[in-house]
Structure 1
Amino acid sequence: MIRSVIKGTGSALPAQIVSNDELARRGVDTSDSWIVERTGIRQRHIAQPGESTGTLAAQASRKALEAAGLAAREIDLIVLATATPDNTFPATATQVQSLIGARPGGVAFDVAAVCSGFLYALATADSLLRTGMGTKALVIGAEVFSRLLDWEDRGTCVLFGDGAGAMVLAAEEVAEDGPGILATRLHADGAHGEMLYVDGGAGTTGTVGKLRMKGREVFRHAVVNLADVLTEVLGAGGITAGELDWVVPHQANARILDATARKLGLPMERMIVTVDRHANTSAASVPLALDVAVRDGRIKPGDLVMFEAMGGGFTWGASLARM
């Protein structure tokens, strides 16, 4: 059978690290203990002038290509998930195509599903590869969320950071027990859009709105929706939660990660957690966390790995892969 096989991962973070104490010194009405107790976040990376969604995405893509042992010109499909494109148009994916020297004439476009964006991009690229629309793809999640934040709203500004993660996929013929994307399920419910949204604008190079969130309501929906979609994908993949080697979740809040793990009966030791270092990087968080765990040796070839995320819209989804 033809599957989309993960060939390499990469990530990129802005150089500037901002700790919780630094936020307090900058005038945010907060403290390190207040943030850590409620979210598990200790620091985040914040983009500076000259750093953008596109440049971070290109950096992550180059590292993923190096890990995969491929040249950029071999990539004929780029799907970039972001809620913070550099411009309303053209798509930031086309900018990345040019920056890394990917094959001209290939396919490149953005996907907007906020924190679930990487799962939506992964499912889209997987479908296109398996139907022959491409042979090798870059799937990217990249965000500069710091430019959407209201720095006087301590309930939201402390939660987010900037960064990018990338994955190289290749369409390959594999055995049934071979590597690749095994099952994916995506969902949305627009009735809850007012719980997590930006109150105007588009793009990160002009005037934009600010992020607004009803945290308690988002938390409640996240735990239920993520547990449901994980169960759905486990069923589609024909495995139990106990057979998973790792879960790479969206890094929104340590409490959500813990509650989701308990609901599924999964030990936290099998959850890849980077929210303490990166905060919530929206569509970038899943590929960022994956790259960290691949490079430190926790995730190895042959491992069964589940990706999951939920974001504004609401959108949510999960994907099961064998590395």
Structure 2
Amino acid sequence: MAMLEVSDLRVVLPSARGPVAALRGVSFALERGDKLGLIGESGCGKSLTALALMGLLPEGAQVEGSIRLNGTELVGLDDDAMAQLRGDRIAMIFQEPMTALNPLHTVGAQVAEPLRLHRGLDRAAARAEALRLLERVQLPEAAKRLDAHPHQLSGGQRQRVMIAMALACGPELLIADEPTTALDVTLQHEVLMLIDELVRGSGMALLLISHDLGVMARHVQRVMVMYGGAVAESGPVGAVFARRAHPYTRGLHAARPRLGATRGTRLPTIPGRVPELADLGTGCAFADRCERVIDACRRAAPPAVEVGADHLARCIRIEEVVA
């Protein structure tokens, strides 16, 4: 039994146009120490997958399938039971720390909060452990920052505080949702290397969400390419990026910036845009943007086909794409 097992996860959300399928049969497993990346454009289901794991889906969401953490079924758990897990066994680094941190409370109080809730530490012990955590994530002048408020810190410093909060109770699973979006390139590298080091030292599993293929190539072992709420392609990161068996994966790869390109060179783009959830039909979600589409693509969702060892893709024309 894997530490985390997600099986056929489906999420239906209410909308002005009626119920819409937002996640469509997502499945994966993680062991301690595993690092899995979710990649795709905005609106493909990456963050929704993370919110489903955390039990933080929007009001009215309907969830089917299974999410098992060390044998405990999370789908259907009540709010109190999920609150006991969040911040303790599952933790998340949110995309924008300025909105995730509470502007009314000091940094020290926010890092100490999970320690007091889940570990039962008193105020003094939690404050001392909060300082140790802030030093562990290399926050400059950590002792002085304990009594600072989030607006008094830079973007990179706020992100380090978020990481300290997520690591406070030593979770089994760490979810990092675009953890470097608001940071410059230098800080992005520092924060990602810090997360790598902390995950490696603790043995926890990491679920890293990003739209950056370069980040995935350097920081995860396996990758899932998501589109339309489903997994288009998955496997070891080296195999997926080398073969690129799904047209969507190929489109993302072609659109990445390249060092040495002539100034003014236009990047290749994937035509069209990610469809609204309510507009997705029963066939391949990528059909309307795919240059290889045929009528059969729109009739039914393609099954997962094995491309290589632990490498799967959902496309009925895989042989032609790979060739």
Normalising by structure 2, what TM-score? Answer: 0.25
Greater C-alpha radius of gyration: 2
| Higher normalized contact order (CA 8 Å, seq sep 6+, divided by chain length) | 1
